[in-house]
Structure 1
Amino acid sequence: MKRNIIAGLAVIFLLSSCNNNEKMLDSLADYNNSREEKGYHFGEELKLPKEVTDHAETITISFGDKETSNLTVDPRFFTLGDNDVTFIVKTKSGETLNQDATINVFANSPEQNISYDIVADYPHDPTNFVEGFLLEGNTVYESAGLDGASKLIKYTLGSSVPSLVEKQPANIFSEGCAIVGDKIYQLTYKNKIGFVYDKNSLKKLSEFPLPNVIGEGWGLTYDGKNLIATDGSKNLFFLDVNDPSKVVRTVAVAGHAEIYDNINELEYHNGYIYSNIWHKPVILKINPATGEVVGKFDFTKLTQENDQGNSEYVLNGIAFKGDHMLVTGKNWAKIYEIAIK
């Protein structure tokens, strides 16, 4: 009789424990879902529901290769943007529960809407599918993409007729480019390689494999120390200019209430990174130290005037002429000079 009572109590305890565990996981999932859109900011505490904390011995957040038991959004563990994590809850009854979640982290300060005036425009070859766009002095260096039509071009601002053209093999889709001294570095879209050219002759000097972490080559710029690349994600990859296959650091990009992925063509100017967002008529001003978007330009009107009704003819091309910004796009017939207010 006593054995049956003990067995019955064990079953009741097990059922009660399972029920509590299920409630804890449901409560944690509901909490995570409710916070995903609102997100967090650095320094903010994750205030988990009492159904979890009252029955937990310990709570750990796993990021795959690292863990923390600190329920504060700490930049040592979290990046800006979306963070895929797993909550590991060890209950007071001795069980271990796992709950996957996405924790979005946004910049602490709202990005500024930056106003501007168009002060000049210049002709641009509308057959060029712009992927990289540079200005040095009065000389434009442009990387045009598409399979079978990719090329590196050099011409004088104000003339759409190139002085030099270096055509790519048919299997190469050219992407972003950057000037480093007397060389031009250029990414490729899906070939997992980059090229180095002589800036004056546009003759190819060498090539290098892209780092494994970069899935595709998109945008490229140079901050005077590192090359900075994008791959269509939220990330900026800082590369060793002497060994572009090596990632020095990675910075994720986000605004105050929005995660920006599809980071594309880049330009570094006066301590900030300026970036196109693929298929959006905006340019972001980004703090390279933190990835925070501090400002945003709206070029909706210019895009509508130049896309010819083709959704692929997007804004994509940033350079600086002194403190004025030059902008253009894929297959646009003009380059615009912008005075920033």
Structure 2
Amino acid sequence: MKAVKKSLISGFALILLLTSCRNDKDMLNALADYNHSMEEKGYHLGDRLKLPEDVTDHAEAISISFGDKETSEMAIDPKFFEYGENKVTFNIRTKNGEMLNQDATINVFSKYPEQNIIYKVVAEYPHDPNNFLEGFLLEGNTVYESDGLKNSSQLIKYTLGTTRPIIAEKQPGHIFSEGCAIAGDKIYQLTYQNKIGFIYDKNTLKKLSEFPLPNEIGEGWGLTFDGKNLIATDGSNTLYFLDVNNPSKVVKKLAVGGYKDIYTQLNELEYHEGFIYANIWYQPFILKINPRTGEVVGKFDFTKITEENTKDDKEHVLNGIAFKGENMLITGKNWPKIYEMAVQ
């Protein structure tokens, strides 16, 4: 009898174990299917995660961890999530005491659609079509321009309405120059893959010093100044705020996102009256970004102008943003014109 009883207990335990394993597998499969469907669809800030019943019915506790953060709130809260891809791990404690883990990607978008900003072309100015433009600034009536490519990179200044440089500072042949920004009496300039930046005297364009790019920035793309920090892009959807007194130091990072798009490949930047304006590499759009949240609140569509200037070479992309009072100036790589827009 004892042997029979022991056999029955062992058999019952085996059934419980097999049932538990099957439930665990069903939970992970259901969660994987859910995560896959939502990765394609994405979430908006404020949304709640509605996990499958196969998961919630058998779970005692569920949390989401990413990096050094963890939350048991199944909501897309900006305290934990940022725009774009969030690589996370779901942690599930089952009702039978098992711990299950599953990696996932949660794509986060802004809560509100970005505004389509209306504009009107009010003036055109000549631009040197030989310049592979990377950075574009206007102060008063003086244009400061950073031009790229190896063996032809330079920083120049000229008067709006002309194309002849007042001063041109050529870079060594191995340098590929990128975005630039004015901060006080200095101009800061990034390089593409050389992992260094330059600081110049704004008036003479004489190089004052160099600095290593922060390790967080893989490549130098765009640069602007918000009155406190330099802000850089590296081809992702991240804005890097740099200490203007030590540009090798990242003060903070901010992910950018729209209602339906993550907006990677942010490129040339301009800061104007509390907003950051950014173009997207190979796209005819300029975004208006809230620098506190990373939300894209507005969007300019320059498709017609861009097509006119890229029909002979697709590399001649929109890549220059500046402001002349309240009007926006745009141009691009090897464009023959600068366009002045009245924003309506």
Cα deviation code 1:288-335 (max 9, x no counterpart): 111111110111111110113322111000000011100000111111
TM-fit CA distance, 1:11: 2.5
Give the paired residue count: 341
Q: 1:174 is matched with which residue: 167, 177, 180?
A: 177
Tell me which amino acid in the other structure corresponds to 2:53: K
Tell me which amino acid in the other structure corresponds to 1:39: G
Q: What is the rounded CA distance, in whole Å, between the counterparts of 2:99 and 2:259 in structure 1?
A: 35
TM-fit CA distance, 1:14: 2.0
Aligned to 1:37, the other structure's residue is in SS state: helix
Residue 12 of structure 2 is aligned to residue 6 of structure 1? no
Unaligned stretches of 5+ residues in structure 2: none
Shifted more, 124-133 versus 36-45: the winner is 36-45
Length-normalised TM-score, structure 1: 0.97
Residue 211 of structure 2 is aligned to residue 224 of structure 1? no
Residue 96 of structure 2 is aligned to residue 93 of structure 1? yes
Q: Determine the structure 1 residue equivalent to 2:295.
A: 292
Q: What is the rounded CA distance, in whole Å, between the counterparts of 2:307 and 2:338 in structure 1?
A: 14
**Percent identical:** 70
Tell me which amino acid in the other structure corresponds to 2:98: E
Q: 1:278 is matched with which residue: 277, 281, 284?
A: 281
Q: Determine the structure 2 residue equivalent to 1:248.
A: 251
Aligned to 2:179, the other structure's residue is in SS state: strand
Q: Determine the structure 2 residue equivalent to 1:194.
A: 197
Q: What is the rounded CA distance, in whole Å, between the counterparts of 2:53 and 2:238 in structure 1?
A: 35
Q: What is the rounded CA distance, in whole Å, between the counterparts of 1:149 and 1:91 in structure 2?
A: 63
Q: Determine the structure 2 residue equivalent to 1:319.
A: 322
Aligned to 1:246, the other structure's residue is in SS state: strand
Residue 235 of structure 2 is aligned to residue 235 of structure 1? no
Check the 8 A contact 2:277/2:289 in 1, yes or no: yes
Q: Determine the structure 2 residue equivalent to 1:309.
A: 312
Q: What is the rounded CA distance, in whole Å, between the counterparts of 1:10 and 1:169 in structure 2?
A: 75
Aligned to 1:20, the other structure's residue is in SS state: helix
Aligned to 2:7, the other structure's residue is in SS state: helix
Q: Determine the structure 2 residue equivalent to 1:102.
A: 105
Q: What is the rounded CA distance, in whole Å, between the counterparts of 1:8 and 1:215 in structure 2?
A: 59
Tell me how large the CA RMSD over aligned residues is: 1.2
Q: What is the rounded CA distance, in whole Å, between the counterparts of 1:98 and 1:145 in structure 2?
A: 47
Q: 2:134 is matched with which residue: 125, 131, 149?
A: 131
Q: Determine the structure 2 residue equivalent to 1:339.
A: 342
TM-fit CA distance, 1:149: 1.4
TM-fit CA distance, 1:7: 2.9
Cα deviation code 1:55-96 (max 9, x no counterpart): 112111111222112212121110112211111111112222
TM-fit CA distance, 1:238: 1.0
Check the 8 A contact 2:126/2:163 in 1, yes or no: yes
Q: What is the rounded CA distance, in whole Å, between the counterparts of 1:72 and 1:256 in structure 2?
A: 17
Tell me which amino acid in the other structure corresponds to 1:148: N
Q: 1:149 is matched with which residue: 142, 148, 152?
A: 152
Unaligned stretches of 5+ residues in structure 1: none
Residue 218 of structure 2 is aligned to residue 211 of structure 1? no
Length-normalised TM-score, structure 2: 0.96
Aligned to 1:310, the other structure's residue is in SS state: coil
Q: What is the rounded CA distance, in whole Å, between the counterparts of 2:315 and 2:96 in structure 1?
A: 57
Aligned to 2:41, the other structure's residue is in SS state: coil
